[in-house]
Amino acid sequence: MKKRVLGKGFAATICVAGLCAFSSTALAQENVALPLDETGAETIALADAGVEETDVSRLYAVREREDGENVVEVEFSCGDNHYEYMLRETDGMILEWSIEGRAVKDAVVELTLSGGEAALSGSGASADTQGSGTAAEVQTEVDPSAEGQAAADTPDGNTDGDDAQGGSAAAGSAVVKITVDGTELIGYEQAVQIALDDSGIAEADAELAKIKFEYDGRFYDYELELREGRAEYEYKIDAQSGEIVEVERD
């Protein structure tokens, strides 16, 4: 199944936010003590979402017992979006996150998993998530799309007379994958694109109402809701293979 990042506008939004948030994300991870308490979980969740505590409202964290494990659940709102996180207490691993609201398309997540700047810029660098208990390596693959192939056909990798445009097309074709606890996953941008491709909804017409990442001890999944006018699509996508597990259309 074809997997690639979203269109240039969405990718640019993510890159800008990721560049701004990466330094604070790394610092937050370094300063979090294990096992997690509520404050440490809030720090990791806010860093992963790329937001500052001063910019959020209704910030709340509580310890829970989930599937035989001690976890810390964190909730907060930022702008038009509501965020929920569940982190494992022993090592700080993010087991679940979700974003729901009117501006999900503009949100940033997975910074602590993907290495933030390295992953979002498609540089192919690697990052170690300090304090989260997971080593996240970032890899990129080039999607042999028409745009990407056109840029690669010339000896210098750029189309003649339009170097900037050729470079942008090639960068926009990169598929970013993250490796968490030795498991290679697609990023949430690719999960959204898979749903768009399957539904046939143009990115410009799509409203992303909710997206969720979940690890249940065996499987990594993305769940998302797409809307186009009155039509609503709900997808569950395997985060390892990129395969569509479930889809409902209303």
Residue-level pLDDT at 111:
81
Sign of CA dihedral 62, 94, 76, 118: positive
- Name the residue with higher pLDDT: 106 or 42: 42
pLDDT tens sequence across 79-101? 999 999 999 999 888 999 999 99
CA distance 81 to 78: 5
pLDDT tens sequence across 181-208? 678 899 888 999 999 999 999 999 999 9
Pairing of strands 174-180, 94-101: unpaired
pLDDT tens sequence across 111-162? 877 654 333 223 233 333 333 333 344 454 544 444 444 444 444 444 444 4
What values do phi and psi take at 43, rounded to 5? -60, -45
pLDDT tens sequence across 8-41? 344 433 333 333 333 344 445 567 888 999 999 9
Confirm whether pTM is higher than 0.75. Answer: no
Going by C-beta distance under 8 Å and a sequence separation of 6 or more, which residues neighbour residue 109? 48, 49, 50, 97, 99, 188, 213
| Per-chain mean pLDDT for the chain | 73
pLDDT tens sequence across 173-182? 455 677 766 7
Q: Grade residue 66 by pLDDT with cuts at 50, 70 and 90.
A: very high
Nearest residue to 76 via CA among 107, 106, 53: 53
pLDDT tens sequence across 136-147? 444 545 444 444
- Would you say residue 172 has pLDDT above 90? no
CA distance 183 to 113: 12
Domain ranges of the chain: 8-186
Peptide linkage before 155 cis (omega within 30 of 0): no
Query: CA–CA distance from 244 to each of 5, 30, 165, 221, 224 (Å)?
Result: 17, 36, 32, 10, 11
Q: What is the 3-state secondary structure (H, E, C) of 98-151?
A: EEEECCHHHCCCCHHHHCCHHHHCCCCCEEEECCCCEEEEEEEEECCCHHHHHH
Residue-level pLDDT at 114:
65
**CB 95 within 8 Å of CB 88:** yes
Nearest residue to 222 via CA among 207, 249, 242: 242
Residue-level pLDDT at 32:
86
DSSP-derived 3-state class of residue 172 = helix
- Name the residue with higher pLDDT: 53 or 121: 53
Going by C-beta distance under 8 Å and a sequence separation of 6 or more, which residues neighbour residue 172? 4, 5, 7, 8, 11, 147, 148
CA distance 250 to 230: 8
